[in-house]
């Protein structure tokens, strides 16, 4: 009898604890959903069963002025329109200005020498096949406001604030 009581008590306890665990996990999932919803920027919190009025299509920035890089390894962005520029097996329109033997005429920046290296570091005569498709890394910019506030801090600013802090000590 006593044994049975203990058993039932244990099962009760287990059930309760299990329930709490489940309910907690449910609230976590719900919280996640809310969180996701706040990041659902393109649809702008539109209900799932309604159609959103599409956003304006933004213009491509075409100022031909070099933009800064946010970190040293950032591929430079393209400061001009590239509508109709073909980059395929037959030809690469970008390279008709940016390749080594065209820059003198075009006065465009030359693609960096790393583009001429294969993965073993050997220099090739022309752009390496693995670096051929410019738009894999280099992109145009639109005159749009960012959809989400970006909290990225440039490493130089980080180092500056650090030196200021150590100075105060």
Partner 1 sequence: MKNILLIGWRTLTKPSAYYSLGVLVIGGFIAGIIFWGGFNTALEATNTEEFCISCHEMENNVYEELKTTIHFTNRSGVRATCPDCHVPHKWTDKIARKMQASKEVWGTIFGTINTREKFLDHRKRLAQNEWTRLKANDSLECRNCHNFDYMDFTEQSERAAYQHSTALAAGEKTCIDCHKGIAHQLPDMKDVEGW
To 5 degrees, how large is the angle CA 109–CA 80–CA 156? 65
| Residue 91 beta carbon to partner 1: minimum distance, rounded to whole angstroms | 4
**Residue 142 or 147: which CB sits closer to partner 1?**
142
| Residue 38 beta carbon to partner 1: minimum distance, rounded to whole angstroms | 36
Size (the chain), residues: 169
**Residue 32 or 86: which CB sits closer to partner 1?**
86
Longest Cα–Cα distance in the chain: 98
Query: Residue numbers of the site for partner 1 (CB under 8 A)?
Result: 62-64, 80-81, 83-84, 86, 90-91, 93, 95-96
**Residue 101 or 119: which CB sits closer to partner 1?**
101
**Residue 2 or 63: which CB sits closer to partner 1?**
63
* Residues 6 or more apart in contact with residue 111 via CB below 8 angstroms: 95, 98, 99, 100, 127, 131
Name the CA radius of gyration of the chain, rounded.
Answer: 28
| Residue 97 beta carbon to partner 1: minimum distance, rounded to whole angstroms | 9
What is the spatial distance between Cα 150 and Cα 39, in angstroms, rounded to a whole number? Answer: 12
| Residue 102 beta carbon to partner 1: minimum distance, rounded to whole angstroms | 8
């Amino acid at each position: 009898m006593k044994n049975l009581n203990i058993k039932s008590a244990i099962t009760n306890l287990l059930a309760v604890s299990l329930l709490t665990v489940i309910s907690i996990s449910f609230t976590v999932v719900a919280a996640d959903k809310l969180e996701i919803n706040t990041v659902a920027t393109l649809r702008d919190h539109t209900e799932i069963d309604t159609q959103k009025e599409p956003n304006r299509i933004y213009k491509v920035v075409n100022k031909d002025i070099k933009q800064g890089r946010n970190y040293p390894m950032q591929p430079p962005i393209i400061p001009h329109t590239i509508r109709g520029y073909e980059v395929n097996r037959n030809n690469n329109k970008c390279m008709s200005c940016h390749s080594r033997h065209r820059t003198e005429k075009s006065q465009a920046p030359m693609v960096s020498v790393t583009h001429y290296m294969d993965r073993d570091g050997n220099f090739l005569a022309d752009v390496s096949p693995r670096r051929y498709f410019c738009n894999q890394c280099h992109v145009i910019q639109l005159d749009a406001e960012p959809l989400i506030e970006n909290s990225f801090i440039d490493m130089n600013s980080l180092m500056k604030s650090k030196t200021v802090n150590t100075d105060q000590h």
